[in-house]
Homo-oligomer: A and B are copies of this chain.
Amino acid sequence: MRINTGEARILDAAKECCERWGMEKVTVDDIAAAAGVSRATLYRLFPGGKDVLFDALHARERAEFFDTLTAEIDGTDDFEDLVVRLVVAATRALRDDSHLATMLASEPGSVLSELTLDGLPQILRVANDYLGPILKPFLDPEHAEPLIDLLVRVTISYFLSPSDHVDLGDTESARAFLRPGLAVMSPVDGRPNQPNP
């Protein structure tokens, strides 16, 4: 069995090619060559070609993003702390993502679409998959979902276009910004600020 399964190799290659040429200019042959794989193999692993491949790449990057995000906030047991740290960590991760920065600089269109139009629903779905369980001790799902939804949108918006009034990459600034909203919402959910046992 191989250490790096074919899919991962190809996705890595696709990412490299994107940084080098931009999504618009990359061809399937470029990716196959960069992955050291024949076109036939690529089409076998990603039937449907470039679209499927890029969907898979985006899916993997979303998963990686939330993997590291959830790892970073592990062990937080206060509701407000948890939300604040999530938003701050997400904002910092977005800012530190050099691949994202490169893409955003060279072809804003496709990145913006991925963050705000076509891609947002899937981001929200993944966010719910990852963050829902984490918020479970504090909120029941029917309240967690709209909160996650809002946090994702707010985080993305302030990342794409920073505000003079708040810096979501700064813990205290983010806390001051988020507290009012969390305070209004907290009484509604009917659970204590500390997690249920």
Contacts and interface: CB of A to CB of B under 8 A. Distances in A.
Interface of A: 20-22, 25, 106
Binding site secondary structure of chain A: helix
Contacts of A22: 20-21
Contacts of A20: 22, 106
Contacts of A21: 21-22, 25
Nearest to A25: B25
Nearest to A107: B20
A25 B18 CA distance: 12
A106 B20 CA distance: 7
A20 B106 CA distance: 7
Contacts of A25: 21, 25
A186 B161 CA distance: 63
A189 to B, nearest CB: 49
A69 to B, nearest CB: 31
A87 B97 CA distance: 40
Nearest to A21: B25
Nearest to A30: B25
6 contacts: A20-B22, A20-B106, A21-B21, A21-B22, A21-B25, A25-B25
A46 to B, nearest CB: 22
A21 B25 CA distance: 7
A145 B22 CA distance: 44
Nearest to A24: B21
A25 to B, nearest CB: 4
A32 B140 CA distance: 56
A17 to B, nearest CB: 11
A22 B26 CA distance: 11
A20 B107 CA distance: 9
